[in-house]
Structure 1
Amino acid sequence: MCWSATADLVAGTGIAVIGVAAVAGTRRARDLPLAALPLLLGAHQIIESVVWRSDGGTGPATVAWAVVALPLLAVWVPLGVYCAARHRVRTRLLVPLAAGAVTAVFLGYALAARPVTAEVRGHTLGYVLDLPHPQWLIAGYLLATVGSLLLSGDRRLVLLGVLVAVGAAVCAALWRLEFISTWCAFAAVCSVVLFDWARRRPRAVAGGRAGAVSGG
């Protein structure tokens, strides 16, 4: 989330460009889901620029924003980490992947059964959705997203997990004050980290396993 429609549009476009570069530089097919994450984050920011220009409400852009932010990311991140991970660490990544799948089911059901509303609050947008047992859903979401990165066994992805955790805490604090939304800045930083990660990944070895993961 950014602090205005223009900021969201500019940030989203820039993040999407980073995503295109990350995908173009990917050397192994199994790294593509994670390398493409900045593309999804960029599209998410662009969608929110539409929500800003609509003054919030319950329109299609609001629903699309919530679908990406809630069930889709809850599955995309742990699945991307699982696909990219070395075989010896994949077993432990099944826990955040399962947590993401279960969380996504509940979040998807909530979005299908209940309306989601966006409200302009100063320089922030607030999204309101009546979730059952929100504390459990938040825990499952964080385990799926931040947890999978921290358990990845790759130094750059662990760094990304730390950045996401810190960024979420800072952005949540500023959002509660209705001062300014800064998530787009953290999304940009995270996208640069993912671009660097994708660029440094080893090439796939035909007929065999690739070499050790750079930085892992």
Structure 2
Amino acid sequence: MCFSATVSYSAAAVLVPTGLYAVQQARRSLTPYWTWGLIPVFFGLQQAFEGRVWQELDAGNVQAAVPFALGFHFFSHFLWLWWLGLSSYVVEPGNIRRLVIGGCTVFGAFAGTLVFSVMLSHPEWMNIAIREHSIVYKFSVPYRDSIHLPITPAALYALTTLVPLLLSSHRLINIFGLLVALSSVLASTIYGYAYVSVWCFFAALISLYLVYMVRSLVAKSKPVTV
């Protein structure tokens, strides 16, 4: 599979208008599902940032690519950590599930703010390179070896983002969570060297499913007229 600026921009061109259509459908029905419609829009913007990263790297301007790489990481290391949880929370009817999902959302917002603020404060720690038609992002924190966690950062990220999706009482949201989980496994198995970039691309394509999901949930929320 080959990735490039063209692929990223093409994905953005499809995702943004498709997501806006889903948002429009949800807002017209006065339902809270518009937060789900924004997910393809956000993924489209993320892919547009990576398109610029590709362009700068292809031109040999590695340092010029850093601001756009930070734009890409705004979504991957900040927004996705809490937006998926928030979207699940606002449509969840069960009190216990809402409590757990809300906890994941708050934790994700805190963790994302902490991680991304460090990235913004130290852009010089960002290393970007092209390897086998994929972009490899590495953020080299000098004191990282002194930090010991009982769980790997990748596993903690997966739990924070996937638990709200898999715990939801809405079957269609569960399906989305399973698709995202499968794409994570595929990306880590085949493209482990460029996991962040590839998983976000796969998740971006999967987010098109949300247009169908929003339309289905909106239809179910409408009162039935006899």
Which category describes the TM-score, using the shorter chain as reference length?
0.7 to 0.9
| Residue of structure 1 aligned with 2:101, choices 93, 99, 103 | 93
Whether 1:25 aligns to 2:25 is yes
In 2, the alpha carbon distance for the partners of 1:63 and 1:84 equals 31
Which structure carries more helix by proportion?
Answer: 2
Secondary structure of the 2:3 match is: coil
Q: CA deviation at 1:18?
A: 1.8
State whether residues 41 and 187 of structure 1, in contact with CA within 8 Å, keep that contact through their aligned partners in structure 2: yes
In 2, the alpha carbon distance for the partners of 1:78 and 1:193 equals 17
The TM-score with structure 1 as length reference comes to 0.83
The aligned counterpart of 1:46 is: 48
The aligned counterpart of 1:61 is: 68
The aligned counterpart of 1:73 is: 80
Q: CA RMSD in A?
A: 2.7
> For residues 182 and 7 of structure 1, do their structure 2 counterparts lie closer, same or farther at Cα, with a shift above 3 Å needed?
farther
Secondary structure of the 2:129 match is: strand
| 1:1-216 alignment runs, 5 A limit | 3-26=3-26, 27-55=29-57, 57-58=62-63, 59-88=66-95, 89-115=97-123, 116-130=126-140, 132=144, 133=147, 135-176=151-192, 181=198, 183-188=200-205, 190-202=206-218
The TM-score with structure 2 as length reference comes to 0.79
State whether residues 23 and 32 of structure 1, in contact with CA within 8 Å, keep that contact through their aligned partners in structure 2: yes
Aligned AA (2:11): A
Secondary structure of the 1:30 match is: coil
In 2, the alpha carbon distance for the partners of 1:204 and 1:196 equals 12
Q: How many residues align?
A: 205
Structure whose CA Rg is larger:
2
Q: Which runs of 5 or more residues in structure 2 are unaligned?
A: none
Q: Which runs of 5 or more residues in structure 1 are unaligned?
A: 212-216
